[in-house]
Amino acid sequence: MPPQANSPLPTGFQLEQYRIERQLSLGGFSIVYLAYDEDDTPVAIKEYLPNSLALRSEGDIAPQISAENMPAFRYGMKCFFEEGRSLAKLMHPNVVRVLNFFRANGTVYMVMQFEHGRTLHQYIQKHKGEVRERFIRAVFTRMLNGLREVHSHKLLHLDIKPSNIYLRTDGTPVLLDFGAARQTLLTGQAFLKPMYTPGFASPEQYGDRESLGPWSDIYSVGASLYACVVGTAPPRADERSKNDTLTSLSRTHSGRYSEQLLETIDWCLALDPLARPQSVYSLQKALMRKQPGEAMPATWFTDIGTRLKSFIGRA
């Protein structure tokens, strides 16, 4: 049976000190809104509303949850709230800023800084097959600064993909929409279906959760790098684990990108977690050199923001 669809809160609805403007996105786990605070500053508000557990019909405000689903819903809500608490401690220009989180209408809301720009997914779709290597290196080198900060707080993102890498109008990338609460949902609730993005989720997210670590996010980064080069996600990791049909980019795209970049992407996409880069820093070092032992000029990286802005401006 397909998942039920939840109705968003109506335009103009007053949610604490925020006024809902419109729905920005709808997923299986949450609804994200554009809203305005008391000073008319735009914010993004993420509402915990898993469509496998709760239903909100048009005209309703509080979701309807069956007695059978209530324990799982409450557990997920607690995880979502803890996710907001953890993210609120992160202060980094390449990680989405959590401003507030609160309970209302029988669920939980996370208020985030609203960013202007576009997703990397949108950029890839517009420039499919023509995403330049310098752009790729610039975006990911800077985005990984944010992921290093996440990992330094003993957190994992667990949902890195091009649609969760946002390119601000000034050219800087920012990580959005952490999947930590969704993953935590599975820990004590075996009957809940996993929530991950096929093609971008690591093999260990499909089963061996004891193996999760920074290398799991690095697999997703590799899949996002792959999407920049190929235009689509690689094959699903669970299918690769049974019959690996992924062809090395070093074979399929040699000549279009440097061998060093293609080998770095292949490295990140290893099915064995121990065969991938074990830290974000290791991956960053690889992205900062075009040939083995040859680092990119220091001046190139000090001007990444300007370069990214010019790339996006030409888009």
Domain residues of the chain, as ranges? 15-113, 117-313
Q: Which of 129-138, 146-155, 203-212, 275-284 has the lowest mean pLDDT?
A: 203-212
For the chain, give the percent of residues with pLDDT over 70: 85
In this prediction, residue 295 carries a pLDDT of 56
State the Cα angle at 241 between 236 and 245, rounded to 5°.
65
The pLDDT value given to residue 185: 43
Is the CATH code 3.90.420.10 the one for domain 15-113? no
What's the average model confidence in pLDDT over 87-91?
89
**Lowest-confidence pick of 64-73, 93-102, 203-212, 219-228:** 203-212
pLDDT of residue 82: 82
Q: Helix 133-152 and helix 304-313: axis angle, to 10°? A: 130
Amino acid at 7: S
Position 105, amino acid? N
Provide the pLDDT for residue 181. Answer: 44
Look at 305 and 155; give whichever has higher pLDDT.
Answer: 155
**Residue for token pair 């920005």:** 24
Highest mean predicted confidence (pLDDT) among 1-5, 12-16, 88-92 = 12-16
CB contact set of 133 (below 8 Å; sequence gap of 6+): 257, 258, 261
pLDDT, position 248: 95
CATH class label, 117-313: mainly alpha
Residues in the chain, how many? 315
Find where tokens 């994200």 sit: 32
C-alpha–C-alpha distance, residues 214 and 150, integer Å: 10
pLDDT tens column, 181-217: 445 444 444 444 556 789 999 999 888 677 889 999 9
Q: Rounded to the nearest 10 degrees, what angle do helices 259-268 and 133-152 cross at? A: 30
Give CA–CA dist 179/158, Å, rounded.
5
For 20, other C-beta atoms within 10 Å of its C-beta total 19
Angle of the 280-287 helix axis to the 214-230 helix axis, nearest 10? 30
| Pick from 111, 118, 143, 93: nearest CA to 30 | 111
Measured CA angle at 109 (ends 103, 112), to 5 deg:
140
Q: State pLDDT tens for residues 262-312.
A: 999 999 999 999 999 999 999 999 999 865 555 555 555 455 555 555 555
What does the DSSP assignment read for 108-143? EEEEEE---EEEHHHHHHHTTT---HHHHHHHHHHH
Per residue in 164-184, pLDDT (tens digit) is 999 999 889 999 887 654 454
- Note the pLDDT of residue 129: 82
Mean pLDDT rounded to a whole number for the chain: 87
